[in-house]
Amino acid sequence: MLEINQYFCVNESCIHYGVRGQGNIIKSGTYGKFDRQLLQCKTCKKRFSETRNTAFFGSKYSANTIKMIIRLVAEGNGVRATARFLELDYSVVHKVRKNNRVVRIE
């Protein structure tokens, strides 16, 4: 998880939408098999996953598996080769690659 001030409200009608460091984001429990963090905007009360808009969102695979997929593809391995190496279905690697737009690997 990033520092809490690195997250921003995802509600487009909120005055703090897309603005970091306003002190409006708080932790609001966890969910799912991997205890992913839920966050809440104190301004508009909207709750959302810390993984929203990332390759991790909605995945049934661990963060380590997702990171490994991203690293292998970033190193120039093809989607099918990555799937064979990690013994995953091609569609899993394809989905992660497609959704990997804003993810950070720590």
Q: State the residues that interact with Zn ion by CB under 5 A.
A: 9, 11, 14, 16, 41, 43-44
C-beta closer to Zn ion: residue 48 or 56? 48
Q: Is the dihedral of CA 63, 66, 70, 71 positive or negative?
A: positive
Q: Least distance from C-beta 9 to Zn ion, angstroms?
A: 3
Q: Which of 57, 58, 55 is nearest to 68 (CA)?
A: 55
C-beta closer to Zn ion: residue 39 or 41? 41
Residue written as tokens 């799937």? 83
DSSP state of 57: T
Q: Least distance from C-beta 39 to Zn ion, angstroms?
A: 10
C-beta closer to Zn ion: residue 41 or 66? 41
Q: Least distance from C-beta 26 to Zn ion, angstroms?
A: 11
* Phi and psi, residue 38, nearest 5°: -100, 140
Q: Least distance from C-beta 11 to Zn ion, angstroms?
A: 4
C-beta closer to Zn ion: residue 15 or 105? 15
Burial of 38 (0-12, 13-18, 19+ CB in 10 A): middle
